[in-house]
Amino acid sequence: MPDYKEMYLTLMRETEKAVRILIEAQQKCEALYLRDDGPNLIVLPLPEQTESAEKE
């Protein structure tokens, strides 16, 4: 007869390891994202602002 308690405990231990690996990977990716400054953004004028500025 299978030892269901041992099967359950083995499954839970291995599941916990997998969850910890995923959490660690997520934290590493978050740290990489926060370290990156990202691209320099430029605010472009709206088309109606350009046309009104040209008329003046």
Cα distances from 13 to residues 4, 21, 31, in angstroms, run 14, 13, 27
Q: Is residue 8 part of a domain?
A: yes
Alpha carbons 30 and 54: distance in angstroms, whole number: 45
Report if residue 22 sits inside a domain.
Answer: yes
What is the pTM for the complete model shown? 0.59
Q: Is residue 45 part of a domain?
A: no
Domain that holds residue 29: 1-36
Look at the chain and report how many structural domains it folds into.
Answer: 1
Q: For residues 14 and 7, what is the distance between their CA atoms, to the nearest angstrom? A: 11
Structural domain includes residue 51: no
Asked if residue 30 belongs to a domain, the reply is: yes
Is 48 inside a domain boundary? no
- Digits of tens for pLDDT over the chain (56 positions)? 899 999 999 999 999 999 999 999 999 999 998 998 888 889 989 888 655 566 65
